[in-house]
Chain A
Amino acid sequence: MKTKKTWALGFLISGSVIFLVSCSAIQEAAGVLSSAANVSGEAATVLQVGQKLRSTFADITEEEEYYIGRSVAALILSKYPVYNNDGLTQYINLIGNAVAVYSDRPEIYAGYHFQILDTEEVNALAAPGGMIFLTKGLLRRCQDEEMLGLILAHEIGHVSAKHGLQSIKKSRLVDAFTFLGTEALERFGPQGLTKLTTVFEGVLSDIVEQLVERGYDRKYEYEADGLAVKFAAKTGFEPDGILRFLKTMVGDSSIAAGKGWFKTHPSPEERIDNLNKEIAGLDMAPKLDAARTERFRQSISTLK
């Protein structure tokens, strides 16, 4: 009797493992089932269980993230004009793409793209999907390529850890997935599209509010700082670059008033403490390089 139970349990466990390991199995199997004239109630139950699997930010597809990111970027670009300087923009895109190669998420739907915003506010913003913005005010505070490399690595850290998508309210995500699961366009036609657009507006407002107005949760900022140190060190940038950058802002009353970066990030002093611990944990920290500082000076000299 016991042996039978053990067998049954073993069969159940191995069955469950196969079921979980290969989600696509259900698709294949159900395809076969669907070819039968009648679909049984049992099969329908299996399908309903499957539909519940899409429930968290991590279930947002790469392509959906790209389209969410495009709209978030479009809203950022409606608030700030672009600073047109092809040479400097190219330089920033080279640093950003170099860091991305050594990040946890080097490949992203449409690649990483970086742009300079024409404002003296000190700020950096990362939309989902790898569209990243730096302000002129932030660039003026950078004194070498390492500082820029670390700041871009921090933003890539936000994208890599999907912090933007994590700021979508859970209830909104449930609504979105439930609605997406209904094949609304097929069932409701243009009205379905209108409804989905309303869900989309809610998703965007969740992200933009976090990104531009309230700032991410502090734990996400510290996580992005940790990732910045990790990615930049792998790229070969001196991690102290981010400490030097933050120190330029300690006690600066002109920016501590609360716009941009200061409104949305923990204080520089708190971040420096946290970063010191992250840097101390590195096996080997790369050092500043004269060749990099020289090309930084040439590029930044065009900043007007």
Chain B
Amino acid sequence: MKKPRSFVILFTILMMGLAFAAADILIVKIQATQLRKSPQFFAQTLGALKAGDKLEKMSESNGWIQVKNAAGVVGWVHTSAVEPPKFDLLAINRDMKTQATAGEVSLAGKGFNKQMGFDKQVEDSYRAKHGEANFAGVDRLLLIKITLAQVEDFLKKGRLGEFRGVQ
């Protein structure tokens, strides 16, 4: 009795895998990037993308992936900006619980309700213990913003990258 049941479960998982793989979904893994008209950084941009955005993969060429965003716009993203959807088995575990305990409800109310990672909450806890670490300096460093237009101009004036030989 036990064997057939495990077979059904595994079969369901495999079939759903097949269905999902066919869709070929990618997730944006960096804070912000652009959907581009052609597979190069200095191409015309078609729209902003942010961490967690879902994209449908259409084709791949030389480190670039052609994708369709949720609005149906087709464009290109660099492979380093996206990844396949990750396991979130912890979230599944949560779903499996039919009832949250009183303690869990209480913690959720305090904001302790997400899957743990090394994130802002851990950083805040670390900062509270390590006054010597210069996070204000890091925040100032991260305020330095260089736009792609500035990089393009710099490359052109220095006859670099794809602008070599162009004057």
Contacts and interface: CB of A to CB of B under 8 A. Distances in A.
The SS class assigned to the A binding surface is: helix
A64 interface: yes
B25 A201 contact: no
Interface residues of B, number: 80
Interface in B51-98: 51, 78, 80-81, 83-96, 98
A19 B13 contact: yes
A272 B17 CA distance: 50
B128 to A, nearest CB: 9
A87 interface: no
Interface in A77-123: 77-78, 82, 89-90, 93-95, 97-98, 101-102, 104-111, 113-115
B99 interface: no
Interface in B116-167: 116-123, 125-126, 129, 132-135, 137-138, 140-142, 144, 146, 150-151, 154-155, 157-161, 164
B112 A42 contact: no
A177 B25 CA distance: 25
B2 to A, nearest CB: 8
B30 A108 contact: yes
A86 B33 CA distance: 26
Contact of B123 (A67, A89, A108): A67
Contact of B16 (A32, A46, A97): A32
B87 A43 contact: no
B48 interface: no
Given A28-B16, A235-B161, A181 B90 contact: yes
Contacts of B96: 33-34, 39
B18 interface: yes
A131 B158 contact: no
Given A22-B17, A74-B133, A78-B134, A63 B159 contact: no
A122 B74 CA distance: 47
Interface in A29-80: 29-35, 37, 39-40, 42-43, 46-47, 50-51, 53-54, 60-64, 67-68, 70-71, 73-75, 77-78
A273 interface: no
Given A25-B20, A34-B92, A197 B154 contact: no
A200 B20 contact: no
B29 A62 contact: yes
Contact of A63 (B25, B51, B125): B51
Interface of A: 15, 18-19, 21-35, 37, 39-40, 42-43, 46-47, 50-51, 53-54, 60-64, 67-68, 70-71, 73-75, 77-78, 82, 89-90, 93-95, 97-98, 101-102, 104-111, 113-115, 131, 145, 176, 179-181, 183-186, 189-190, 192-194, 196-197, 200-201, 203-204, 234-237, 286, 289, 291-292, 295
Given A24-B85, A75-B134, A109-B29, 10 more contacts: A18-B17, A24-B87, A30-B13, A63-B51, A78-B134, A94-B146, A108-B30, A111-B146, A180-B117, A236-B160
